[in-house]
Chain A
Amino acid sequence: MKTIIIGLGNPILTDDGVGVKVAQQLEEIIDRDAHPELTITEASVGGLRLMETLLGFDRVVLIDAYYLNEETTIPGTIHHLTLYDLRSVSPTQHSTSAHDTSLVTALDAADKMGYKVPRECRIYAIEVENILEFSETPTPAVAKVIPIVTEQIITELSLKIR
């Protein structure tokens, strides 16, 4: 099964880059020879451009920061979401700019146009604390879960490590 794992977010915006850091860890430890149909990458884009990256794959795994209401959030909490969930989650403060469209809309459009969109989509959404300050270092609560999410993906996709 052609699979793409994408770490999303801005790697220089504190917790926003948590997905990118997970992807980088996977890149380091996965035995690539054992998985010729696996692509691991990172992207600081959303919407249309992200959709275009996914075309042609059977399965996609996205890892992204999840910014919730300041009063109720527990940074470091890992959510397992599907595209269906994305349609219904409440808006957060930080999302795509006005110069883009949502991933769900973009994928729906691609599907309608007859492109091969992934049949299976797993999303690892990690609750974050700080996505407004430039820094390469995530906050401690978020940094702590990077190896946990990495491990979860390895287990769920039955990946071989080097």
Chain B
Amino acid sequence: MERITIDPITRLEGHGKIEIFLDKKGNVENAYLQIPELRGFEQFSIGRPAEEMPRITNRICGVCPEAHHMAATKALDALFDVEPAPVVKKLRELFYSSFYVTDHSVHFYALGGPDFILGPDSDPAERNILGVIHKVGVDIGIQVIECRKRNHEVIKILGGRAIHPVAGLPGGWSRAMTKEEQKTILGWAKENVDFALFTLKIFDDIVLANQAYVDLIVSDAFTHETYYMGTVDEKNQINFYDGLIRVTGPDGKEFVKYPAKDYAKHIAERVEPWSYLKFPYLKDVGWKGFVDGVDSGVYCATPLSRFNAADGMATPKAQEHFERFYETLGSTKSNGRYSPIHHRLATHWARIIELLYAAERMQELVEDPEITDPNVRPIITNTPTEGIGSVEAPRGTLTHHYKTDENGILTDVNLIVGTTNNNAPIAMSIKKAAKGLIKNGEVSEGLLNTIEMAFRNYDPCMSCATHSLPGQMPLEIQIHDADGNLIVTQSQYID
């Protein structure tokens, strides 16, 4: 392949632009997703008091402000060296679980799910929440909106503010929960469990009952064997809020398990001249390019990855579905672990099982009598130096790393956001999808749809926070020949 270095300015033009490079014979050599970079966050943060970070970083991203708020708050725990009281951890996890319910449900009903509910070949103009309502009925749409509404209310009650929460403090949480709030939220948590079970039933009826869809899920076109990352508790069960980072291999074996503060020992970032976004990989395996296998340091951090990295789920109903997931997809169990599922489209299924887990976990936490303990604000006495905090964002492990002077004024900031973890796997999935549809320079029908499906299962969050009009993302694919000349451009709106 001719080496193509894209001018930084032209690179910024396409939002969600996919570039495909062909070899001399007209077959796919490489394919990448190009994402514009927001610049200067580090400089923006340096010189500010560290305790502002939970409120600043939740502005980075309009999709998951709660995830940034939580990672930032945990980084402050470490920075000020204060262990949060059990009630604080429980309130934070309750808040965070509620956020997961909203986030995962919107992906299934409005974004990734339509590919299945309406079919991968349906008109893109129909393949959105409107199309879903049309197909499965208005009542289901109302359930989705009502689910989001009550959980946004939980986020507002616990987080102190709708949309951009403010409650996270070093080692604490700015307000305690009243008994009345506990009662209200318990009712909502139970409704969430019902909603999640109902969502899994829809998945059963529409996707699993349709052999063509099951064949699509397990097809080679959407399969990659990589390492998987996820946060686990002491029993190696999935946890979104806290635990150790566990990485398992394509063979299913545990590769490493480490506390978030050691991330730099295990993760390195590959820089490519044609992309602003770095490509994280496992340091101890090494970078071997955009390839599958046990010798390639590429790892993935998604709902599917969390499944593969864990031994199970911590709540009973989710655990049942976890087992069913692996058994249905042909996994075998040995030494208490299922062999990994590498089918990327199964991520959609894993995501709604996580939705059930989040709902059940909410119920467990809010039923805990300790959750209304009023002692949520500790007094900070230690001098800050350096702190690292991490959570599982819905779309991957999110890490915040701060350094300060002795007054707590930031001197260094580094963030590894969820989608970045998946940058290499996304490129690989796009390449594989493109390979199947571009042969000897001929581009088959359905290229855009297939590529969209290939990257959408990662639920990528690309434009952190800006929502300038008109608020619609054009997906553009550019195909270059072996000399780097642009030969084909296709585009459609993702809605």
Which A residues have a C-beta under 8 Å from some C-beta of B? Answer: 8-13, 16, 43-50, 52, 64-67, 81, 86, 89-103, 105-106, 108-110, 112-115, 123, 125, 128, 131-135
A131→B62 CA distance, assembly (Å):
14
Chain A nearest Cβ from B57, distance in angstroms = 10
A102→B456 CA distance, assembly (Å):
16
Residues of B within 8 A of A132 (CB): 12, 36-39
- The residue on B at minimum CB distance from A51 is B145
A86→B469 CA distance, assembly (Å):
8
A95→B462 CA distance, assembly (Å):
10
Residues of A within 8 A of B16 (CB): 98
Q: Are B462 and A98 in contact (CB under 8 A)?
A: yes
A108→B444 CA distance, assembly (Å):
33
Q: Are A52 and B145 in contact (CB under 8 A)?
A: yes
Q: Does B468 contact A (CB under 8 A)?
A: yes
Q: Are A109 and B130 in contact (CB under 8 A)?
A: yes
Residues of A within 8 A of B65 (CB): 44
The segment out of B106-114, B196-204, B370-378, B427-435 that lies at the interface is B106-114
Q: Are B110 and A45 in contact (CB under 8 A)?
A: no
Q: Are B149 and A8 in contact (CB under 8 A)?
A: no
Please tell me which one of the listed residues B152, B461, B470 contacts residue A97 in the complex, with CB atoms under 8 A apart: B461
Residues of A within 8 A of B111 (CB): 98-101
Q: Are A95 and B62 in contact (CB under 8 A)?
A: no
Q: A12-B44, A64-B469, A101-B111 are in contact. Are A93 and B13 (CB under 8 A)?
A: yes
Can you list 28 A-B pairs with a CB-CB distance of less than 8 A?
A10-B59, A10-B62, A13-B466, A43-B163, A44-B59, A45-B467, A48-B106, A49-B62, A50-B467, A52-B149, A52-B152, A64-B467, A64-B468, A67-B468, A86-B471, A89-B470, A91-B474, A93-B15, A95-B471, A97-B473, A98-B111, A99-B63, A99-B111, A101-B110, A102-B470, A113-B138, A134-B41, A135-B40
A99→B107 CA distance, assembly (Å):
7
Q: Does B293 contact A (CB under 8 A)?
A: no
Chain B nearest Cβ from A70, distance in angstroms = 8
- The residue on A at minimum CB distance from B148 is A52
Residues of A within 8 A of B455 (CB): 98
Q: Are B466 and A45 in contact (CB under 8 A)?
A: no
Q: Does B460 contact A (CB under 8 A)?
A: yes
Chain A nearest Cβ from B421, distance in angstroms = 15
Residues of A within 8 A of B15 (CB): 91-95
Q: Which of B1-33 contact A (CB under 8 A)?
A: 12-16
A81→B471 CA distance, assembly (Å):
14
Please tell me which one of the listed residues B107, B133, B138, B472 contacts residue A91 in the complex, with CB atoms under 8 A apart: B472
Q: Are A66 and B469 in contact (CB under 8 A)?
A: yes
Q: Which of B419-473 contact A (CB under 8 A)?
A: 455-456, 459-473
Q: Are A113 and B141 in contact (CB under 8 A)?
A: yes
Residues of B within 8 A of A109 (CB): 129-130, 133, 141
- The residue on B at minimum CB distance from A102 is B472
Contacts A105-B128, A113-B133 known; list 9 others, CB within 8 Å.
Answer: A44-B467, A52-B148, A66-B468, A67-B469, A101-B495, A103-B471, A113-B142, A114-B138, A132-B12
Chain A nearest Cβ from B148, distance in angstroms = 6
| Residue of B130, B152, B474 with highest tally of chain A CB at under 10 A | B130
Q: Does B164 contact A (CB under 8 A)?
A: yes
Chain B 137-179 against A: per-residue CB contact (8 Å), 1 yes, 0 no? Answer: 0100110010011001000000000011000000000000000
Q: Does B184 contact A (CB under 8 A)?
A: no
Q: A92-B469, A112-B133 are in contact. Are A98 and B461 (CB under 8 A)?
A: yes
Q: Does B267 contact A (CB under 8 A)?
A: no
Q: A12-B59, A100-B63 are in contact. Are A91 and B470 (CB under 8 A)?
A: yes
Q: Are A96 and B467 in contact (CB under 8 A)?
A: yes
Q: A8-B467, A112-B133, A133-B40 are in contact. Are A102 and B461 (CB under 8 A)?
A: no
| Residue of A102, A108, A109, A125 with highest tally of chain B CB at under 10 A | A109
A43→B162 CA distance, assembly (Å):
9
A86→B263 CA distance, assembly (Å):
44
Please tell me which one of the listed residues A11, A91, A99, A131 contacts residue B493 in the complex, with CB atoms under 8 A apart: A91
Q: Which of B31-87 contact A (CB under 8 A)?
A: 36-41, 43-44, 56, 59, 62-63, 65
Q: Are B40 and A134 in contact (CB under 8 A)?
A: yes
Q: Are A105 and B129 in contact (CB under 8 A)?
A: yes
Chain B nearest Cβ from A57, distance in angstroms = 15
Q: Does B395 contact A (CB under 8 A)?
A: yes
Chain B nearest Cβ from A20, distance in angstroms = 10
| 4 closest cross-chain pairs (CB), A and B | A46-B467, A134-B44, A91-B474, A10-B465
Q: Are A105 and B148 in contact (CB under 8 A)?
A: no
Q: A48-B106, A132-B12 are in contact. Are A99 and B461 (CB under 8 A)?
A: yes
Chain A nearest Cβ from B188, distance in angstroms = 16
Residues of B within 8 A of A112 (CB): 130, 133, 138, 141
Please tell me which one of the listed residues B14, B43, B145 contacts residue A93 in the complex, with CB atoms under 8 A apart: B14
Please tell me which one of the listed residues B56, B464, B467 contacts residue A9 in the complex, with CB atoms under 8 A apart: B467
Q: Are B129 and A101 in contact (CB under 8 A)?
A: yes
Chain B nearest Cβ from A65, distance in angstroms = 4
A23→B138 CA distance, assembly (Å):
34
Q: Does B494 contact A (CB under 8 A)?
A: yes
Residues of B within 8 A of A108 (CB): 130
A93→B148 CA distance, assembly (Å):
28
Residues of A within 8 A of B56 (CB): 12
Q: Are B462 and A135 in contact (CB under 8 A)?
A: no
